[in-house]
């Protein structure tokens, strides 16, 4: 099967310099949604027609290397949908039918497209149609005796045709050899002065090619994006679809209307997600994870029974089972926490490994560190990992106790079972099992009087 994706439009109503098909839905460009769905159908040829946006659309396409190869063709000037498909003709296999998709219609499911392809077979023209209560502005499906005979656009329709509620989604499967002949005979004698792809329907009827239809599961599958309002509406529709699937899998969502998945979210059993959480990239939540409100997780793996409290930011990090994180904690890339680790409020961890049962409960920075088991890190502790040029590593071995307001100047090692007194600045290794302290001598200055402001 050939697939042609039309993505040449400028999208004036988007009020943006960014080409319409590159605007994001759920963190991914509209066009990429369509390409991903098309690739799931295993096409032999896949061509994207671009126009506005210069090199931006081909650049996106060039970066999508995981799947069927994609070619591009430039439509310049833009003279309608029929003219757009003409640009792909040299790249199509005549022996295979051609599926036409749209780069600004992102939510059509692979199941609906497979149904259309199956209905069309190799010799029929198939159209994905849908009944709409308010079809204003859309092409109408005109039938005679139940058979599709043509499609009429809103601006060219008479009163009777405008009363038709079955609309053309624009998505078609077409026998390619016929498609080439029909496109060559298109006319632009219409209200828009464009070459309509829909005009091939009447040509198919005239040539005795059967025209069939298939229907998506819902109207939103064929909804396009022409404005930021429509983009926002589809975003919420898409997120609600994701929420519905999560609920059906047994995930507890405290409000299904307030979740944003901008990638892949994989949940185990008995997972609870509070409101306002955002997921980007690939996020895995194991059995029994509880996720507090307004947390952001990016390419993260959260172990079974872990409790992420509200307002946490976790990026490219692994949290071990039964750990407690937050509130207001930040785990940066390269962080790996073992089981039952506590990272408390306003604690930041970066590129560090923390072994089981260790705790940093508040107001600490742990960067480029290897921390053993059962370590306690007091409030205000900082691993000083950067000298302005190079980053060095701090090692804190098992059962160490780091007193509050300590600074560990890397590279440095705190031995097993060692204790650092509060306020220590550690620039040399602390031996195992001993108390190490660096602190200015406390003094009281007799006779000192606090200055008084002099009146002018």
390 contacts: CB under 8 Å, gap ≥ 6: none
What kind and span of H or E run contains 207?
A: none
Strands (E), 175-256: 211-214, 252-253
What is d(CA 20, CA 406) in angstroms, rounded to the nearest whole number? 53
Residue 100 class from Cβ within 10 Å (0-12 exposed, 13-18 middle, 19+ buried)? buried
Sign of CA dihedral 116, 119, 123, 125: negative
Considering only the C-alpha atoms of the chain, give the largest distance between any 2 of them, rounded to a whole number of Å: 111
Contact 30, 225 (CB under 8 A): yes
Under the phi-then-psi rule, with left for phi > 0, alpha for psi from -120 to 50, and beta for the rest, what region is 352? beta
3-state secondary structure 42-63: CCCEEEEEEECECCHHHHHHHH
Instruction: Please list, residue by residue across 136-169, b when 16 or more beta carbons sit within 10 angstroms of its beta carbon and e when fewer do.
Output: eebbbbbeeeeebebbbbeeebeeebeebebbbb
Bridge partners of 24, per DSSP, are: 29
- Quick one: which of 46, 50, 105 has its CA closest to 73? 50
Contact 304, 317 (CB under 8 A): no
Contact 307, 340 (CB under 8 A): no
Q: Is 362 considered catalytic here?
A: yes
Contact 422, 405 (CB under 8 A): yes
Catalytic residue ranges:
362
């Amino acid at each position: 099967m050939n697939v042609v994706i039309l993505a040449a439009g400028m999208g004036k109503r988007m009020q943006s310099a960014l080409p319409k098909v590159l605007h994001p839905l759920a963190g991914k460009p509209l066009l990429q949604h369509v390409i991903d769905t098309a690739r799931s159908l295993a096409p032999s040829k896949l061509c994207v027609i671009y126009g506005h946006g210069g090199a931006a659309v081909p650049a996106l396409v060039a970066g999508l290397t995981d799947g069927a190869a994609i070619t591009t063709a430039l439509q310049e000037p833009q003279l309608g949908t029929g003219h757009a498909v003409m640009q792909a003709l040299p790249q199509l296999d005549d022996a295979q039918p051609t599926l036409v998709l749209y780069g600004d219609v992102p939510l059509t499911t692979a199941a609906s497209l497979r149904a259309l392809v199956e209905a069309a077979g190799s010799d029929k023209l198939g159209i994905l149609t849908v009944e709409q209560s308010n079809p204003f502005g859309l092409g109408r499906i005109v039938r005679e005796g139940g058979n599709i005979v043509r499609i009429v656009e809103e601006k060219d329709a008479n009163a009777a045709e405008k009363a038709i509620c079955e609309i053309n989604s624009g998505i078609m499967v077409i026998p390619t050899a016929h498609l080439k002949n029909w496109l060559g005979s298109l006319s632009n004698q219409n209200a828009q002065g464009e070459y309509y792809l829909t005009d091939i329907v009447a040509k198919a009827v005239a040539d005795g090619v059967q025209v069939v239809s298939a229907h998506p599961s819902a109207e939103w599958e064929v909804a396009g994006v022409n404005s930021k309002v429509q983009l926002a509406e589809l975003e919420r529709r898409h997120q609600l679809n994701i929420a519905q699937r999560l609920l059906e899998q047994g995930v507890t969502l405290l409000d299904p209307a307030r979740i944003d998945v901008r990638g892949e979210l994989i949940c185990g059993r008995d997972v609870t997600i509070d409101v306002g959480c955002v997921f980007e990239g690939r996020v895995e939540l194991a059995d029994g994870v509880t996720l507090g409100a307004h947390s952001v997780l990016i390419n993260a793996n959260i172990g079974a029974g872990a409790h992420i409290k509200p307002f946490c930011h976790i990026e490219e990090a692994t949290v071990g089972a039964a750990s407690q994180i937050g509130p207001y904690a930040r785990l940066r890339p390269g962080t790996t926490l073992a089981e039952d680790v506590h990272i408390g409020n306003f604690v930041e961890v970066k590129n560090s490994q923390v072994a089981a049962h260790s705790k940093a409960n508040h107001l600490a920075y742990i960067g480029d560190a290897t921390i053993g088991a059962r370590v306690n890190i007091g409030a205000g502790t900082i691993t000083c990992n950067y000298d302005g040029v190079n980053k060095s590593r701090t090692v804190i071995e098992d059962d160490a106790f780091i007193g509050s307001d300590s600074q560990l100047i890397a590279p440095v090692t705190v031995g097993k079972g060692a204790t650092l007194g509060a306020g220590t600045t550690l620039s040399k290794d602390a031996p195992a099992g001993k108390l190490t302290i660096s602190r200015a001598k406390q003094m009281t200055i007799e006779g000192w009087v606090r200055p008084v402001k002099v009146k002018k």
